[in-house]
Copies of this chain bind each other. A is one copy, B any other.
């Protein structure tokens, strides 16, 4: 499917735009191919763009005090991703963003997004939904982080998103769930017997 088609389909879930308007709106974005493990944002650098995943998968992570990568988020098809604070105020980013797989994405700069919203106020509604949904997901994530043991994190993930667990290497699963690959290994061993 064409990038514009994917994006149009997503927008039309939340707001209405004429075909002519959509063409113009789409002009604010650029399409990019990114290779597996390619970095889009580097922790500590400016975060200039907001990313929309057309195909593939991005992840957000930071380097913790022990010097290991802690993954905080994955973005799959039709999800937006950026370091919101760094993007909004054009500050140094607290996270890196990297492609997990070969991906196709849309990208928009801070200035373009602001201009887009000025010119097409209907897009305020679209982004209101996008942020509301993302916030709701983050709220549930926090609840989840507090409600279960690390062992349960893994078991639940396997039960709810088996294809995702297949799609992603184990060390990233461990990094996302906040524990060591060694411990993940131990859980998996238990599951076999």
A139 to B145, CA, bound (A): 13
* Cα–Cα distance between A146 and B30 once the two chains are bound (Å): 33
Q: Which residues of B contact A127 (CB under 8 A)?
A: 128, 132
The proximity string for A residues 116-142 relative to B, scoring 1 for CB distances below 8 Å and 0 otherwise, is: 010001001101100110111011111
Residues of B within 8 A of A62 (CB): 143, 147
B117 touches A125 (CB 8 A): yes
For chain A, the count of residues having a C-beta within 8 Å of the partner chain is 34
Contacting residue for A132 out of B64, B84, B142, CB 8 A: B84
Closest CB of chain B to A67's CB: distance in Å? 12
Q: Are A145 and B143 in contact (CB under 8 A)?
A: no
Please indicate the chain B residues that have their CB under 8 angstroms from the CB of A29 in the complex: none
Determine whether A90 belongs to the interface, using a CB cutoff of 8 Å to chain B.
Answer: no
Chain A interface helix/strand/loop/mixed: helix
Measured between beta carbons, the chain B residues less than 8 angstroms from A140 are 85, 94
Q: A72 in the interface, Cβ–Cβ < 8 Å? A: yes
Chain B residue numbers with a CB within 8 Å of A64 are 146-147
Question: Which A positions have Cβ atoms within 8 angstroms of B?
Answer: 62, 64-65, 70, 72-73, 83-85, 88, 94-95, 117, 121, 124-125, 127-128, 131-132, 134-136, 138-143, 145-148, 178
What are 24 pairs between A and B in contact, CB < 8 Å? A62-B143, A64-B146, A64-B147, A65-B147, A65-B148, A70-B143, A70-B146, A72-B139, A72-B142, A72-B143, A84-B136, A84-B139, A85-B136, A85-B139, A95-B143, A121-B121, A124-B124, A124-B125, A124-B128, A128-B131, A131-B132, A135-B138, A138-B139, A142-B142
Q: Give me the 7 closest cross-chain CB pairs, A-B, nearest first.
A: A138-B138, A84-B136, A131-B131, A135-B135, A124-B124, A128-B128, A131-B132
